[in-house]
């Protein structure tokens, strides 16, 4: 019988209790279980080695107990692991943590029997360069967001694609999203919904000064560079809404496809369009 890694949401008593209950369920069926609380690092970007979960590399699957935020945090820490991830939702919207509490054991049976489908999702690698030196980097599943503080002036962001000039956005910020992240901040800012397995990079300006600048969808192999304007103040970069760093005038943000995709256990029987209608309440009165 295989080894299962269970990671539950940090600081939640209910998640810890459910994690222990699931551990006992797997063990009764002969599985070896590694149970741990998530290292939910929120704040400044750190070195890649700091705060990384020590997950057994021979795990059959990683089961994440929490909401989409918990899964995003775990996905960032599983940078180079090819282990499939299954999200059990005890949160809200749940685009990523698709399995409900009521259905969890049915999917656990499939995992133990190794009868499950895996869906690969493209991730991004974001790095910040200052005077030619890399000062921060992170692996991103949803999005990289560059934005200004509430009272700061509009920021100029000079964007090039594969070293070719695209435009200079004069805006409150810019979202660089994956297809998976298209239904997150990108959607709220008026960006397109993209099928989650598509290998694309989406650029969506936030409150752009020019009304003609709209979202653009780029091929996944594109290399995006964003230069921060010389007069920029109070500008930050945030990865997946969880970790970030302050950006200085003249900084260069580089975003490209990450070397390894994330592998999500395909839990739902419904097609993606049914999920959209359900989650976004399309057609409901």
- Exposure of 131 in the CB half-sphere (CA atoms within 13 A): 1
pLDDT at position 166 over 80: yes
Q: Are residues 15 and 101 in the same domain?
A: yes
- In this structure, is residue 142 part of a structural domain? yes
Q: Are residues 137 and 95 in the same domain?
A: no
Q: Among the listed ranges 44-58, 119-133, 225-239, which one has the minimum average pLDDT value?
A: 44-58
- Per the structure block, which two tokens stand in for 228? 């921060």
Give yes or no for a contact between 226 and 157, defined as CB atoms under 8 angstroms apart: yes
- In this structure, is residue 181 part of a structural domain? yes
Considering the chain, what is the average pLDDT of its residues?
A: 88
- Per the structure block, which two tokens stand in for 64? 């994440």
Alpha-carbon dihedral of residues 127, 224, 209, 240, nearest 10 degrees?
-50
Q: Are residues 188 and 148 in the same domain?
A: yes
- In this structure, is residue 26 part of a structural domain? yes
- In this structure, is residue 40 part of a structural domain? yes
- In this structure, is residue 285 part of a structural domain? no
Q: Are residues 91 and 144 in the same domain?
A: no
- Per the structure block, which two tokens stand in for 252? 């260069």
Total number of domains constituting the chain: 2
Q: Which pLDDT score is estimated for 12?
A: 77
Q: Are residues 176 and 266 in the same domain?
A: no
Residue with tokens 């200079």: 168
Q: How far apart are CA 57 and CA 91, in angstroms?
A: 27
Q: How far apart are CA 65 and CA 120, in angstroms?
A: 20
Q: Are residues 75 and 60 in the same domain?
A: yes
What CATH number did the domain enclosing 229 receive? 2.60.200.30
- pLDDT digit string (tens) for 25-64? 999 999 999 999 887 655 554 444 445 567 888 899 999 9
Residue with tokens 């000039």: 165
> What is the DSSP secondary structure assignment for residue 183, as one 8-state letter?
G
* DSSP one-letter string for 52-119: -----TTEEEEEEEE-HHHHHHHHHH-TT----EEEEE-SSS-SS--B-TTTHHHHHHHHHTT---EE
Please classify residue 80 by burial: count the beta carbons closer than 10 Å to its beta carbon, then call 0-12 exposed, 13-18 middle and 19+ buried: exposed
Q: Are residues 105 and 180 in the same domain?
A: no
Better pLDDT: 5 or 283: 5
- In this structure, is residue 141 part of a structural domain? yes
- pLDDT digit string (tens) for 140-154? 999 999 999 877 889
Q: Are residues 106 and 155 in the same domain?
A: no
Q: How far apart are CA 201 and CA 222, in angstroms?
A: 8
Q: How far apart are CA 174 and CA 38, in angstroms?
A: 29
Q: Are residues 223 and 165 in the same domain?
A: yes
Residue with tokens 């397109």: 192
Q: Which pLDDT score is estimated for 49?
A: 44
What CATH number did the domain enclosing 76 receive? 3.40.50.10330
Strands (E), the chain: 3-8, 32-37, 43-44, 59-66, 85-89, 118-121, 124-130, 133-140, 143-148, 155-161, 164-171, 173-177, 200-206, 216-219, 224-228, 235-239, 243-247, 252-257, 262-265
Q: Are residues 167 and 250 in the same domain?
A: yes
- Domain of residue 36: give its range: 3-121+261-279
- In this structure, is residue 284 part of a structural domain? no
Better pLDDT: 207 or 52: 207
Q: Which pLDDT score is estimated for 247?
A: 97
Q: Are residues 95 and 7 in the same domain?
A: yes
pLDDT at position 271 over 80: no
By three-state DSSP, how is residue 186 classified?
Answer: helix
Q: Any catalytic annotation for residue 251?
A: no
Apex 206 CA angle, 205 and 210, nearest 5: 70
Give yes or no for a contact between 103 and 200, defined as CB atoms under 8 angstroms apart: no
Q: Are residues 128 and 253 in the same domain?
A: yes
Q: Give me the catalytic one of 68, 143, 172, 240.
A: 68
- In this structure, is residue 82 part of a structural domain? yes
Q: Which pLDDT score is estimated for 91?
A: 66
What's the average model confidence in pLDDT over 55-79?
87
Sheet holding 216-219, edge to edge: 43-44, 243-247, 235-239, 143-148, 173-177, 200-206, 216-219
Give yes or no for a contact between 103 and 284, defined as CB atoms under 8 angstroms apart: no
Q: Among the listed ranges 62-66, 127-131, 212-216, 280-284, which one has the minimum average pLDDT value?
A: 280-284
């Amino acid at each position: 019988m295989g080894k299962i890694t269970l990671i539950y949401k940090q600081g939640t008593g209910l998640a810890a209790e459910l994690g222990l209950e699931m551990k006992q369920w797997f063990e009764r069926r002969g599985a070896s279980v590694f149970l741990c609380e998530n290292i939910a690092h929120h704040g400044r970007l750190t070195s890649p080695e700091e705060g990384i979960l020590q997950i057994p590399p021979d795990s059959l699957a990683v089961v994440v107990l929490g909401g989409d935020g918990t899964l995003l945090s775990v996905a960032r820490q599983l940078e180079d692991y090819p282990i499939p991830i299954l999200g059990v939702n005890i949160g809200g919207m749940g685009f990523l943590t698709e399995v409900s509490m009521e259905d969890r054991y049915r999917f656990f049976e499939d995992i133990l029997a190794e009868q499950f489908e895996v869906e690969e999702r493209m991730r991004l690698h974001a790095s910040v360069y200052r005077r030619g030196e890399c000062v921060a980097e992170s692996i991103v599943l949803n999005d990289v967001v560059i934005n200004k503080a509430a009272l700061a002036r509009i920021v100029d962001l000079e964007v090039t694609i594969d070293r070719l000039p695209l435009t200079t956005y004069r805006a409150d910020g810019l979202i660089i999203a994956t297809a998976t992240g298209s239904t997150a901040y990108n959607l709220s800012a008026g960006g397109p919904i993209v099928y989650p397995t598509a290998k694309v990079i989406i650029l969506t300006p936030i409150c752009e000064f020019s009304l003609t600048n709209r979202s653009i969808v780029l091929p996944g192999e594109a290399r995006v560079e964003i230069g921060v304007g010389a007069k920029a103040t109070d500008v930050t970069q945030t990865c997946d809404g969880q970790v970030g760093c302050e950006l200085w005038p003249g900084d260069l943000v580089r975003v490209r496809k990450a070397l390894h995709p994330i592998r999500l256990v395909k839990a739902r029987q419904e097609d993606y369009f049914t999920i959209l209608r359900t989650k976004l309440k399309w057609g409901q009165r």
